[in-house]
């Protein structure tokens, strides 16, 4: 069998997804694109240690011409969709980092490109496959807690220490312009994935201060984003995406699901165990388990991925990728992407284009609700071809070049006015290698 030729666009976060490709015998990493030479050099170092020689590019058009079957998109978070559509129209399979897109029209375009070209599109939502969340998926599928009635997902992660090296003082970098709920997929997607539900309506709220990063590092948006999502079975999910100050190494990335028969929850501030409570025959009587999940799919490959990733401390600890590779969640998006391309049964766990769009729409529509003073906003089911036309012109987002006269501010009431001297200061921090000296956070 010919190997699947994979290219990687974006070598910063992208390097960990490339690493997941290297442990799969069916895959050959053939090309890497990044305009940032430091990121490209990091990919080179990784490739050299495993004895492969992909082609390196700094220009997308040149990369596009390379002979590739599939592409991993880890480029700027607001720019995934146009590249994904172009690549799918050229017959390539695509795995995209999160979120899938920045406006509703792009959601329609993504779905139609995947449908029309018959290619595989998946979203690299690693938070669905962390040791604890993926075990929750397994238990949910067994019916252990019944049907979801209410759930909470928290993505509380102060990324200030990484902000200078990522944005390099660029006022228009997506990390400076996104709004509070944009990056919500880590909070809500695992819950949609575990319960196999679809969001139908969302209400958004925003705290007044404390966004993903402080304004004195250049962020123009507002506070934390809170989403109350109505599910298609009537249940409710509360998601939060925030950069609240917590002690270092203590991000709050946790999930609780209350079902009709019991409850499951993670405890990841302290540990990586989960608890599962199941009510038995009598009201108020049940069993409670606390345990460390065992990987139940491709456990050997996942272990090999971790081993090899940890063997490159020069690469992975100096980037955003330290810690436990998102509780091993970083291995599985690539694994399921490849299984799906190969038509294997395990590919069913990949986050497909519809769920990718559902999760991204939660953030887009929650912010619309915030701008409307908190009134609920419907989330369209774009699987239905009949309703897509109504959204083709819906290009509202915070990128002027994309939104035109539908431009929306990064926070209600208008962008935070950042003094240009702040960007100069951040540029200097980035040049000096800060925050490497300050250390990076565990999760990203």
CA pair distance 375, 442, nearest whole angstrom: 36
Indicate the residue among 77 and 382 with the shorter CB distance to ligand NAD. Answer: 77
- Residue 166 Cβ vs ligand NAD, minimum distance, rounded to whole Å: 5
- Residue 40 Cβ vs ligand NAD, minimum distance, rounded to whole Å: 8
- Residue 113 Cβ vs ligand NAD, minimum distance, rounded to whole Å: 18
- Residue 36 Cβ vs ligand NAD, minimum distance, rounded to whole Å: 4
Indicate the residue among 158 and 444 with the shorter CB distance to ligand NAD. Answer: 444
Indicate the residue among 158 and 235 with the shorter CB distance to ligand NAD. Answer: 158
Indicate the residue among 124 and 382 with the shorter CB distance to ligand NAD. Answer: 124
- 56 membership: H or E segment, kind and range: strand 55-57
- Cis omega before residue 214 (within 30°)? no
Indicate the residue among 39 and 191 with the shorter CB distance to ligand NAD. Answer: 39
CA pair distance 428, 398, nearest whole angstrom: 26
* Structure token digits, residue 74: 């880890």
Indicate the residue among 164 and 259 with the shorter CB distance to ligand NAD. Answer: 164
- Residue 221 Cβ vs ligand NAD, minimum distance, rounded to whole Å: 15
Q: What is the dihedral of CA 152, 158, 164, 169, to 10 degrees?
A: 60
Q: Which residues bind ligand NAD (CB under 6 A)?
A: 10-13, 33-36, 39, 60, 74-77, 97-98, 124, 126, 166, 320, 326, 444
- Residue 175 Cβ vs ligand NAD, minimum distance, rounded to whole Å: 7
Long-range interactions of 207-212: CB distance < 8 A, separation 24+: 207/242, 210/242, 210/243, 210/244, 210/245, 211/180, 211/242, 211/243, 211/411, 212/157, 212/159, 212/175, 212/178, 212/180, 212/183, 212/241, 212/242, 212/243
For residue 31, the Cα-to-chain-centroid distance in whole angstroms is 23
- Residue 234 Cβ vs ligand NAD, minimum distance, rounded to whole Å: 30
Indicate the residue among 10 and 259 with the shorter CB distance to ligand NAD. Answer: 10
Indicate the residue among 184 and 366 with the shorter CB distance to ligand NAD. Answer: 184
Collect all residues with Cβ–Cβ distance below 8 Å to 177 and sequence separation of at least 6: 78, 220, 221, 398, 399, 410, 415
- Cis omega before residue 45 (within 30°)? no
- Residue 373 Cβ vs ligand NAD, minimum distance, rounded to whole Å: 28
Find the radius of gyration of the CA atoms of the chain.
21
Indicate the residue among 34 and 69 with the shorter CB distance to ligand NAD. Answer: 34
- Say if CB 202 and CB 181 are below 8 A apart: no
Calculate the alpha carbon distances from 444 to 53, 212, 409 in Å.
28, 12, 25
- Residue 75 Cβ vs ligand NAD, minimum distance, rounded to whole Å: 4
* Structure token digits, residue 343: 């038509």
- Residue 63 Cβ vs ligand NAD, minimum distance, rounded to whole Å: 8
Question: Which residue's structure tokens are 């509360």?
Answer: 238
**Strand locations in 83-134, DSSP E?**
93-96, 121-123
Indicate the residue among 68 and 145 with the shorter CB distance to ligand NAD. Answer: 68
């Amino acid at each position: 069998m010919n190997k699947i030729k994979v290219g990687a666009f974006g070598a910063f976060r992208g390097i960990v997804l490339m690493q997941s490709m290297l442990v799969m015998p069916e895959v050959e990493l053939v090309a890497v694109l990044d305009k940032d030479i430091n990121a490209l050099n990091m990919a080179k170092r990784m490739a050299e240690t495993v004895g492969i020689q992909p082609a390196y590019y700094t220009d997308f058009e040149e990369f596009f011409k390379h002979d590739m079957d599939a592409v991993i998109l880890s480029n700027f978070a607001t720019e995934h969709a146009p590249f994904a559509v172009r690549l799918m129209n050229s017959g390539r399979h695509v795995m995209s980092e999160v979120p899938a897109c920045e406006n509703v029209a792009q959601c329609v375009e993504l779905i139609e490109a995947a449908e029309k070209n018959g290619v595989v599109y998946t979203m690299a939502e690693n938070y669905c496959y962390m040791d604890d969340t993926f075990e929750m998926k397994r238990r949910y599928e067994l019916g252990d807690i019944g049907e979801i009635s209410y759930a909470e997902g928290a993505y509380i992660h102060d990324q200030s220490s990484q902000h200078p090296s990522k944005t390099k003082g660029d006022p228009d970098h997506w990390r400076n312009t996104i709004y509070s709920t944009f990056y919500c997929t880590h909070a809500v997607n695992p819950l949609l994935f575990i319960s196999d539900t679809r969001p139908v309506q969302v209400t958004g709220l925003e705290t007044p201060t404390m966004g993903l990063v402080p304004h004195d590092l250049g962020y123009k948006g507002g506070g934390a984003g809170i989403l109350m999502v109505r599910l298609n079975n009537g249940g409710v999910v509360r998601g939060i995406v925030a950069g609240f100050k917590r002690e270092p190494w203590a991000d709050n990335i946790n999930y609780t699901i209350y079902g009709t028969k019991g409850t499951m929850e993670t405890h990841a501030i302290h540990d990586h165990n989960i608890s599962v409570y199941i009510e038995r025959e009598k009201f108020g009587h049940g069993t409670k388990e606390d345990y460390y999940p065992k990987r139940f799919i491709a456990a050997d490959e996942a272990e090999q991925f971790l081993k090899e990733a940890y063997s490159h401390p020069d690469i992975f600890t100096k980037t955003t990728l330290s810690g436990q590779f998102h509780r091993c969640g970083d291995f599985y998006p690539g694994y399921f992407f490849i299984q799906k391309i190969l038509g294997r049964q395990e590919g069913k766990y990949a986050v497909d284009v519809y769920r990718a769009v559902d999760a991204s729409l939660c953030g887009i529509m929650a912010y619309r609700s915030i701008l409307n003073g908190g009134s609920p906003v419907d989330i369209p089911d774009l699987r239905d071809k009949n309703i897509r036309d109504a959204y083709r012109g819906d290009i509202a987002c915070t990128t002027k070049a994309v939104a035109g006269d539908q431009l929306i501010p990064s926070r209600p009431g208008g962008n935070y006015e950042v003094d240009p001297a702040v960007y100069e200061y951040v540029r200097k921090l980035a040049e000096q290698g800060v925050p490497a000296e300050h250390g990076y956070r565990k999760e990203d």
